[in-house]
C-alpha cells in the first residue's frame, strides 16, 4: 500500500501466470488530481518498452474504482538485501551496480522520461539482473513536477532536488542509492558523534568527486552519459590496479 495506490498479487487464469493489480486508493480518487494522475501513469506505462521495467497489460474501471494490471517481477529489493540479509557492498561492486541501473535511467532519459523515484524499495534483483519499478512519480520533460501545479516550490529543499523534472534529479537519487550501498560496510563506534558521509566512509578520491557531483554539492552532472563516462573511467583504473 502506497500513498496513491494499493497493489495486489493476483493470478491471471487465462494467461496462467501471476500479475500485479494496482488500485488507486479510494481516498485519492476524488481528489482534484486523482484521476488525472492515474491516466498520466497509465499512458506512461504504456509507453515503456524495456524488459527490465513494468509492462502494462490492462487498465479499467470497476464499481467506480480505477485499476491497472502489470507483469509480476519477482525478486528482492536493495532494501531487502541491506536490512533483512545484511548484504555488504564494496566500493567497486557498488559502482558496477550503479552503472547497470544507470543504463535503465539513460534509456528513460533518451525518451524524455524522468523517473524521480529511484529508491532502494523500487529496484529489484533477481537471476536476470536489475529491474526498475514504480513510475507513479515519473514525468515527461517539460511537464510540471506535480502535473497539475506549475512549480515544486512548496517542497522542502531536498525533495525539490528529487522531484525536479530534469535528468539531474534521477542522478541525485542515484547518489543517495550509492550511499546506501556504501554504508553497508560502515560500523559506527559507540558514543561517536554523527558525521558527514565524507568523514564516516573511507572512499577513494575519485568516488568522492563523482558522488559530490551526483549529490549536487559540486557542479551537477547534466546528463547520464557524462556520469557514465566517469564511472567507467573509475572502474577501468581499478581494473589496472589489480
Instruction: Identify the CA nearest to 133 among candidates 191, 52, 78, 200.
Output: 52
CA 29 from chain centre, in angstroms, equals: 25
- CB-count burial class (<10 Å; 0-12, 13-18, 19+) for 8: exposed
CA 132 from chain centre, in angstroms, equals: 6
- Of the candidates 58, 117, 128, 143, the residue annotated as catalytic is 117
C-alpha span between 147 and 133 (Å, rounded): 20
Residue appearing with cell numbers 532502494? 120
C-alpha span between 39 and 26 (Å, rounded): 15
C-alpha span between 23 and 34 (Å, rounded): 12
Which contiguous run of DSSP H or E holds residue 24? strand 17-24
Starting at the earlier edge strand, list the strands of the sheet with 5-12: 5-12, 17-24, 65-71, 56-62
Residue 233 catalytic? no
Residues acting as catalytic residues: 117
Amino acid at each position: 500500500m502506497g500513498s496513491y495506490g494499493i497493489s495486489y498479487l493476483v493470478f491471471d487464469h487465462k494467461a496462467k501466470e501471476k500479475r500485479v493489480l494496482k488500485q488507486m486508493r479510494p481516498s485519492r480518487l476524488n481528489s482534484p488530481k486523482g484521476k488525472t494522475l492515474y491516466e498520466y501513469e497509465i499512458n506512461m506505462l504504456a509507453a515503456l518498452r524495456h524488459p527490465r521495467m513494468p509492462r502494462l497489460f490492462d487498465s479499467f474501471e470497476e464499481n467506480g474504482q480505477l485499476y491497472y494490471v502489470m507483469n509480476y517481477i519477482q525478486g528482492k529489493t536493495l532494501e531487502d538485501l541491506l536490512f533483512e540479509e545484511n548484504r555488504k557492498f564494496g566500493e567497486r561492486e557498488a559502482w558496477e551496480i550503479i552503472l547497470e541501473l544507470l543504463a535503465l535511467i539513460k534509456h528513460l532519459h533518451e525518451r524524455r522520461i524522468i523517473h524521480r523515484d529511484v529508491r532502494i524499495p523500487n529496484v529489484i534483483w533477481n537471476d536476470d539482473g536489475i529491474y526498475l519499478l514504480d513510475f507513479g512519480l515519473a514525468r515527461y520533460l517539460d511537464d510540471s513536477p506535480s502535473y497539475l501545479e506549475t512549480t515544486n516550490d512548496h517542497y522542502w529543499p531536498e525533495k525539490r532536488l528529487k522531484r525536479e523534472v530534469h535528468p539531474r534529479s534521477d542522478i541525485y537519487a542515484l547518489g543517495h542509492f550509492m550511499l546506501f550501498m556504501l554504508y553497508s560496510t560502515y560500523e559506527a563506534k559507540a558514543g561517536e558523534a554523527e558525521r558527514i558521509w565524507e568523514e564516516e566512509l573511507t572512499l577513494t578520491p575519485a568516488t568522492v568527486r563523482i558522488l559530490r557531483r551526483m549529490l549536487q554539492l559540486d557542479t551537477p552532472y547534466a546528463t547520464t552519459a557524462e556520469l557514465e563516462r566517469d564511472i567507467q573511467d573509475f572502474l577501468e583504473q581499478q581494473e589496472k590496479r589489480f
